[in-house]
């Protein structure tokens, strides 16, 4: 199965080490690892399910392969060419573990599809060296990849299960219970077979092509986009004297009533623009008689048409360029009932009721003195005429009635 002298004349690993390290018994160069195994998908591996292996770029080999790689002095990173001679397909992969049964190798399912293999087919495995990748261009195989908010972080996590990438491969990775397919379109440097690169311990620049089935959104040109004006028209579009905004929103049907609008309409227009005539005009009036007009060549004798102006509503909007209209000023109108109540309140007297003096007595109508004033007047009369007042005796008669 293995030919020891296969790489005697053309060994791809020759020249990579000094001659002293390559020396062997008989002077033969070191050999590459080259074996054939029966391939199976990772899902058939005994033990618990390992989803990260199924969506990665590493294979599981038997323990005998590790022993042979050690004797060949092939150290980390161990990278391999996977070749299907029947279909002439090839890809590259790393190794994860050496726990498979003897004569078997377990591959991710996407790798079986890339190599056009069926479970149990014979697969050739060769050791190889790949350059560190610098750039890779990927293309998602469905537009669902656009739903991922941070594709860079997701791919960085997915590449932890990969050791190398090959141009033309369509690998898969899992994220949020979904499986996404990604195709490798381009790699740099592309010096290895099929542009394969190593993604271990390197700074890799990633670019994305539009996903399969993605269509660019069509841009609809708006009617309000300014046009380049030529021929004397101002920049920004054609001016409309009647107001295009008012027509677009049908402002005439929704315009609020306003006193300022009515005042403005009266100031602008008038129903009495022409001279009037009296109904009781007399025959001897000195009004001038209109003279007949003589026709002139090239001039029309018809009077110019009269312009009808509206006075029962808002005037047409004539907005200068760059200005917007947000409606007239609205003033609240007082109702008729509120005006009557205000007039009645003003007609009522402000103060009602009888006044009071500081002495506590009430003022009487007609200027009649009260009891307090009578007492005070009596005291003043006694002071002026002490004998005017009649005294009283115990017998009940006054001193004036006593005999002299």
**How far apart are the C-alpha atoms of 258 and 274, rounded to whole Å?**
29
pLDDT over 90 percentage in the chain: 32
**How far is Cα of residue 95 from the mean position of the Cα atoms in its chain?**
47
Element (H, E) at 164: strand 164-165
Amino acid 27: pLDDT: 47
For residue 46, report the phi and psi dihedrals to the nearest 5 degrees: -60, 145
Q: How many CA atoms lie within 13 Å of 50's alpha carbon, on the beta-carbon side?
A: 19
126 compared with 312, residue with greater pLDDT? 126
Which of 263, 267, 59 is CA-nearest to residue 163?
59
pLDDT bin (cut points 50, 70, 90) of residue 124 is: very high
- pLDDT of residue 18 exceeding 50, the answer is no
Can you tell me the mean pLDDT for 129-150? 92
pLDDT at site 47: 86
Mean predicted confidence (pLDDT) in 304-326: 71
**Helix, strand or coil, per DSSP, at residue 26:** helix
Mean pLDDT value across the chain: 74
240, 242, 243, 248 alpha-carbon torsion, rounded to 10°: -110
pLDDT band at 358 (very low <50, low <70, confident <90, very high): confident
Whose structure tokens read 């030919």?
3
CA dist 100 and 63 (Å) reads 7
For the ranges 140-144, 213-217, 231-235, the maximum mean pLDDT occurs at 140-144
Region 258-278: mean pLDDT is: 55
φ and ψ of 392, to 5 deg: -130, 145
**pLDDT given at position 238:** 52
Question: In Å, what is the CA distance from 153 to each residue of 3, 100, 164, 167?
Answer: 45, 32, 18, 22
Is the model's pLDDT at 8 over the cut of 50? no
Q: What is the pLDDT of residue 95?
A: 94
pLDDT of residue 64 exceeding 60, the answer is yes
Mean pLDDT, residues 315-342 taken together = 74
Peptide linkage before 77 cis (omega within 30 of 0): yes
Contact between 120 and 38 (Cβ < 8 Å):
yes
pLDDT of residue 52: 86
Instruction: Work out the average pLDDT over 80-97.
Output: 93
What confidence tier does 20 reach under pLDDT thresholds 50, 70, 90?
Answer: very low
Q: Output 288 or 279, whichever has higher pLDDT.
A: 279
Q: How far apart, in whole angstroms, are the C-alpha atoms of residue 290 and residue 236?
A: 51
pLDDT, residue 261, reads 55
Is residue 120 predicted with pLDDT exceeding 60?
A: yes
Q: Phi first, then psi: give them for residue 124, nearest 5 degrees.
A: -95, 135
- The helix (H) or strand (E) run that includes residue 380 is helix 371-384
pLDDT at residue number 24: 41
pLDDT 10s digits, 178-191: 999 999 999 998 88
Give the pLDDT band of residue 305 (cuts 50, 70, 90).
low
Q: How far apart, in whole angstroms, are the C-alpha atoms of residue 159 and residue 57?
A: 9
Q: What is the pLDDT of residues 213-225, one digit of tens each?
A: 888 887 766 555 5
Is the torsion defined by CA of 264, 265, 271, 275 positive or negative? positive
41 has pLDDT over 90: yes
pLDDT at 253: 66
Pairwise pLDDT comparison (261 vs 160), residue with the higher score? 160
- pLDDT of 31 > 80? The answer is no
Kindly tell me if the per-residue pLDDT of 284 is higher than 50: yes
Which is higher by pLDDT, 12 or 354? 354
Q: What is the pLDDT of residue 286?
A: 56
R_g of the chain, CA atoms, integer Å: 58
Rounded mean pLDDT, 42-57: 89
């Amino acid at each position: 199965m293995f030919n020891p002298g296969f790489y005697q004349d053309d060994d791809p690993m020759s020249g990579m080490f000094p001659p002293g390290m390559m020396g062997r018994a008989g002077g033969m160069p070191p050999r590459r690892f080259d074996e054939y195994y029966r391939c199976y998908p990772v899902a058939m591996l005994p033990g618990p399910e390992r989803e990260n292996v199924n969506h990665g770029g590493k294979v599981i080999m038997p323990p005998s392969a590790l022993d042979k790689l050690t004797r060949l002095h092939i150290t980390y990173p161990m990278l391999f060419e996977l070749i299907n001679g029947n279909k002439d397909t090839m890809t590259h992969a790393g190794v994860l573990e050496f726990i498979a049964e003897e004569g078997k190798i377990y591959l991710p399912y996407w790798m079986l599809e890339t190599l056009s293999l069926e479970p149990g087919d014979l697969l050739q495995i060769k050791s190889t060296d790949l350059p560190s990748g610098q750039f890779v261009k990927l293309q998602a195989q469905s537009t669902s990849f656009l739903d991922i908010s941070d594709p860079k972080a997701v791919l960085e996590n997915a590449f932890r299960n990969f050791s190398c990438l090959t141009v033309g491969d369509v690998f898969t990775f899992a994220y949020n219970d979904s499986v996404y397919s990604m195709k490798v379109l381009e790699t740099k440097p592309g010096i290895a077979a099929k542009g394969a690169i190593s993604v271990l311990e390197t700074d890799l620049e990633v670019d994305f092509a539009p996903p399969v089935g993605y269509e660019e959104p069509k841009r609809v040109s708006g009617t309000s986009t300014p046009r380049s004006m030529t021929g004397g028209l101002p920049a920004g579009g054609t001016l409309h004297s009647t107001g295009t905004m008012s027509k677009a929103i049908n402002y005439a049907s929704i315009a609020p009533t306003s006193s300022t609008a009515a005042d403005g309409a009266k100031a602008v227009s008038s129903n009495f623009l022409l001279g009037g005539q009296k109904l009781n005009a007399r025959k001897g009036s000195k009004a001038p008689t209109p003279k007949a007009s003589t026709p002139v060549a090239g001039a029309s004798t018809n009077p110019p048409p009269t312009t009808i102006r509206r006075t029962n509503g808002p005037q047409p909007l004539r907005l200068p360029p760059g200005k917007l209209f947000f409606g007239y000023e609205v003033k609240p109108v007082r109702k008729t009932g509120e005006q009557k109540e205000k007039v009645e309140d003003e007609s009522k007297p402000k103060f009602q009721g009888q006044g009071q003096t500081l002495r506590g007595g009430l003022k009487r109508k007609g200027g009649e003195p009260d009891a307090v004033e009578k007492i005070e007047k009596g005291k003043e009369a006694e002071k002026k005429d002490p004998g005017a007042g009649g005294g009283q005796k115990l017998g009940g008669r006054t001193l004036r009635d006593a005999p002299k």
